[in-house]
Amino acid sequence: MTSATRRLLFIYTGGTLGMVQTDAGWAPGADLEAWLDDQMAEQFPGVAHDFVALDPLVDSSSATPLTWQRILDVIDAHHDSHDAFVVLHGTDTLAFTAAALTFALSGTGIPVVLTGSQRSIVRKDSDAPDNVRGAIRSALDDRLNGVALFFDDRLLEGQHASKISTTDDHAFESMDAAPLALRVGKDLVFTPGERSPLPSAPAERQPFREADIVVIQLHPALSSARVDAMLTPAPEAVIVRAYGSGNAPEDDPQLLSALAGASAAGSVVVVTTQCAHGGVDLGHYASSQPLLDAGAVAGGTLTTEALVAGLTFLLSQGLDADQIRTTLGAATA
Ligand code: ASP
């Protein structure tokens, strides 16, 4: 780590780590900037740092693609003056934001590490100090290339993280990709190998806009009439959380024709799995063939969070449905 010459920017977006208890429940109010100044003086003397907070702060359960864009605007405005970025964020949609920034900053190599905590900095048992120090160390490490999420001793690829616990310190897991690095003592031990492929970023990035994306989780009691209603009018994209390796009921022509109708009307229909690991393999079982016939494409091992973020990114770039199907196909092959 060559931290002595580095300048770090903290981007505080909101979340539990900066909250205090109020009559109405936990809400923003801690002096996070002063706390970070202390952390830097104790742990990273000699590293210059600055602090920007979103105004207003956002509980991440209220975040939208426009919140992702507000974070990107700060990074864009400071990337000539700062070498690394730590984004302090609520845990609820941290995985979505990490994936969104990963897609948007793909190919730039700008080191951005997102983190949060299960308990506020004002509590003695807070997990924030460990997470924030790990995020700072990761962002300043020359081996990091691009966007990642640090939580509970693990540095995860931004497009493979999922929140797996509402209470445990071990709140995030990397789905279908090895962690980029593990913290052992104070050191980071990086995993050898390439990072997972990403849909290629356009030369001139357009800002995130709100997108019309529907997520449909298949279940045995789901009626095709309900699916039909969810797809009327046809959204810009549909993510089908199918069974196992991408399977759906074979004997439900109305469900499949609703999906085929949406696809024909211009929706990008992407299939992912309800399983935590392994991804989808459309065509492996006969019961996945109807989804292919309905015009669906496979989401590979991308999580639902990454698909929501990735589809929003590609739609924001002005790509049409066919271009998005091809781009996703290339990234998930
Ligand atoms: N609701 C909070 C948020 O995501 C929870 C947290 O920070 O853990 O902003």
What is the full per-residue pLDDT of the chain (333 aa) written as tens digits?
444 578 999 999 999 999 999 999 999 999 999 999 999 999 999 999 999 999 999 999 999 999 999 999 999 999 999 999 999 999 999 999 999 999 999 989 999 999 999 999 999 999 999 999 999 999 999 999 899 999 999 999 999 999 999 999 999 999 888 999 999 998 999 998 777 777 666 678 999 999 999 999 999 999 999 999 999 999 999 999 999 999 999 888 899 999 999 999 999 999 999 999 999 988 888 888 888 888 899 999 999 999 999 999 999 999 999 999 998 877 676
The predicted model scores a pTM of: 0.95
Note the Cα 32 to chain centre separation in Å. 23
Q: Which of 2, 5, 16, 301 is an active site residue?
A: 16
Q: List the one residue out of 225, 253, 222 whose CA is nearest residue 240.
A: 222
Tokens of 127: 């997990």
| d(C-alpha 330, C-alpha 199), whole Å | 7
Q: Which of 13, 20, 60, 167 to mutate to test the pocket of ligand 1 (most atoms within 8 A of CB)?
A: 60
Site to probe by mutation for ligand 1, drawn from 12, 16, 58, 120 as the one with most ligand atoms within 8 Å of Cβ, is 16
Phi and psi at residue 6, to the nearest 5°: -95, 155
Cα 129 to Cα 117: distance, rounded to the nearest angstrom: 9
Give the number of the atom of ligand 1 that is nearest the alpha carbon of residue 117: 8
Coil, strand, or helix at residue 19? strand
**27 CA distance to ligand 1 middle (Å):** 10
**What 3-state DSSP class applies to 308?**
helix
CA of 194 to the centre of ligand 1 (A): 31
DSSP state of 194: P
Kindly report the backbone phi and psi dihedral angles of residue 130, in degrees, each rounded to the nearest multiple of 5, phi listed first. -65, -45
